[in-house]
Amino acid sequence: MAAGDGDVPKSVLARGLVLLDAFEPADVELSLAELSARTGLPKPTAHRMIAELVRWGGLERHGASYRLGMKLFELGQRVPRRRELREAALPYLQDLYEATHENIHLAVPDGGHTLFLEKVTGHRSTPIRSRVGGRMPVHCTATGKVFLALGPPEYFRRVTEAGLARKTPRTIVAPGLLRRELDRAVERGYGVNHEEAEVGVAAVAAPVYHRRRRLVAAVSITGSAERLDVERLAPAVRTAASALTRELAAP
């Protein structure tokens, strides 16, 4: 979607960042025309900025299109929050994978979305759309429900006031019904998603806390809705999340 004239940034730095931010999670590459349309930048301006980003390593040319470059990956690996959480969580995620052979996620809240910091999967895991660095709405994901259920009331209000998009026929889009589902998550100690984000996919997630019981992340098991027994797997994901919590709380 093209930006309006008033939305086009003026500074060189802001224009470069807008070009990078034009890439959606599902995008592998975009053409100059697509980047120009999405950012509202004139083609000559976009072309000049893209050339600078290619020289820096933020973008890579692929035929007539462009991809995000390895420089961004390198910078992403240096983000302290991501690195520390991922390094601490990875052994527990791997243990969950070995026990279930399903998709195992580590996620953090990101506005109205759950952001996947890590994913452990294998050839026996159910194919799903999630990926590291990808985001999904909080109201229809197991990790997101954990964040909504245990977060402050104003967080729930902001998310519901922004509108609950329907992703599948089973997505909960009524705030009252979602609130009841979140109350159950608080009682159980884990969040559940039954085909609400992706048809045929279910998940169960548990909270991870930092010092002073500050909610920082969630761990989840995701797989086929037909064979994933969330009630049976809930103790395993809660145990992993609790162990990670204890490690993060250590001096």
Per-residue pLDDT tens digits for 22-37: 988 778 899 999 999 9
Confidence of residue 79 (pLDDT cuts 50, 70, 90): low
Q: Burial of 93 by CB count in 10 Å (0-12 exposed, 13-18 middle, 19+ buried)?
A: buried
The answer, yes or no, to whether residue 1 has pLDDT greater than 50, is: no
The answer, yes or no, to whether residue 54 has pLDDT greater than 70, is: yes
Confidence of residue 101 (pLDDT cuts 50, 70, 90): very high
3-state secondary structure of 118: strand
The answer, yes or no, to whether residue 179 has pLDDT greater than 50, is: yes
Bigger pLDDT: 76 vs 115: 115
3-state secondary structure of 195: coil
Q: What is the structure's pLDDT at 249?
A: 85
CA-CA distance, 70 to 74, in Å (whole number)?
6
Tell me how crowded residue 36 is: count the other CB atoms within 10 A of its CB: 21
The answer, yes or no, to whether residue 5 has pLDDT greater than 60, is: no
